[in-house]
């Protein structure tokens, strides 16, 4: 009985360790990105271990992951230091999520949507040229989910994300497809922001025009329709920024 209990604990330990590591990663990453270490040195490994009540191995792994994301670096005679924003991997979904959670995230949303203007319209144009029937069907399913969400039968946020990500996949370009996690993560904040400001969900008809252009194999119309979608978001952000507090 005791042997069996010990074995069960041993099996659970790796999972617990992973949870602790990612919990510490999230806590430290958020602290770095929100500027908590701008006026004080980053703690040593021993200090982090004591402060957060975790083992040295958990601390070491979390710091290693933050270093890989560009947030930290180890320097001779300086120890572990926080890197400037210019060194952060902004395409890392954790870093992007932490950035979007900062108090002043509207400017970041604006910058992200400026990036979307450069990527998603071209992805839509490529989808109009190269998407398979299965790809187009997946885009149609995303639109159908958006329509269902309007009737309260699906999640509006997840449906909108599914539509946009399916177009990245339909482009047939692996570099565009790599943006799916970034787009998905950022849209979770961007869509919540725009829906809150507009007081309504995304315009399904506008999304439908993107699908129609792709189905018609019309790259120029697909590009124009997608650019209009994102430009609407940028205009909304600009209007929000210019509204007196």
Does residue 51 carry a pLDDT above 60? yes
- Banded model confidence at residue 6, pLDDT cuts 50, 70, 90: very low
CA distance to 122, 135, 141, 206, per residue, from 220 (Å): 9, 19, 23, 15
Q: Residue 73, SS3?
A: strand
Q: What are phi and psi of 79, to 5 degrees?
A: 80, -150
**Of 173, 164, 142, 170, residue with least CA distance to 226:** 164
Does residue 74 carry a pLDDT above 80? yes
pLDDT digits (tens, 9 = 90+) for 78-112: 789 999 999 999 889 899 888 877 765 678 888 88
For residues 172 and 8, what is the distance between their CA atoms, to the nearest angstrom? Answer: 46
pLDDT digits (tens, 9 = 90+) for 185-241: 878 877 777 766 665 567 899 999 999 999 999 999 999 999 999 988 888 888 877
pLDDT in the model for residue 15:
41
pLDDT in the model for residue 13:
40
Confirm if 204 and 243 have CB atoms less than 8 A apart.
Answer: no
pLDDT in the model for residue 212:
98
pLDDT in the model for residue 113:
86
pLDDT in the model for residue 110:
86
The domains of the chain are located at 2-85, 104-241
CB-based contacts of 9, cutoff 8 Å, min separation 6: none
- Whole-number average pLDDT of the chain: 87
* 39-43 average pLDDT score: 93
CATH architecture for segment(s) 2-85: Orthogonal Bundle (1.10)
Q: E strands of 66-152, at which residues?
A: 72-75, 79-82
pLDDT digits (tens, 9 = 90+) for 147-179: 999 899 999 889 999 999 999 999 999 999 999
**104-241 belongs to which homologous superfamily?**
GntR ligand-binding domain-like (1.20.120.530)
Does residue 11 carry a pLDDT above 80? no
Confirm if 159 and 149 have CB atoms less than 8 A apart.
Answer: yes
CB-based contacts of 65, cutoff 8 Å, min separation 6: 21, 25
Neighbours of 178 (CB within 10 A): 11
């Amino acid at each position: 009985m005791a042997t069996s209990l010990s074995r069960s604990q041993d099996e659970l330990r790796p999972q617990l360790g992973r949870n602790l590591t990612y919990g510490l990663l999230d806590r430290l990453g958020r602290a770095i990105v929100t500027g908590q270490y701008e006026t004080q040195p980053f703690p040593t490994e021993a200090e982090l271990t004591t402060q957060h009540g975790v083992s040295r191995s958990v601390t070491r792994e979390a710091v290693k992951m933050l270093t890989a994301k560009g947030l930290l670096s180890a320097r001779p005679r300086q120890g572990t230091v926080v890197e400037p924003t210019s060194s952060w991997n902004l395409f890392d979904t954790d870093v992007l999520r932490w950035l979007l959670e900062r108090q002043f995230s509207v400017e970041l949303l604006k910058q992200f949507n400026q990036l979307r203007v450069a990527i998603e319209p071209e992805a839509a144009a490529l989808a109009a040229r190269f998407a398979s029937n299965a790809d187009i069907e997946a885009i149609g399913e995303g639109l159908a989910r958006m329509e269902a969400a309007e009737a309260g039968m699906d999640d509006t946020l997840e449906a909108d994300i599914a539509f946009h990500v399916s177009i990245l996949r339909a482009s047939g370009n692996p570099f565009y497809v790599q943006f799916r996690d970034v787009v998905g993560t950022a849209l979770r904040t961007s869509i919540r922001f725009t829906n809150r400001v507009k007081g309504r969900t995304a315009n399904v008809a506008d999304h439908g025009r993107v699908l129609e252009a792709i189905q018609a194999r019309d790259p120029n119309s697909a590009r124009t329709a997608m650019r209009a979608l994102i430009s609407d978001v940028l205009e909304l952000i600009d209007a929000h920024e210019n509204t007196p507090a």
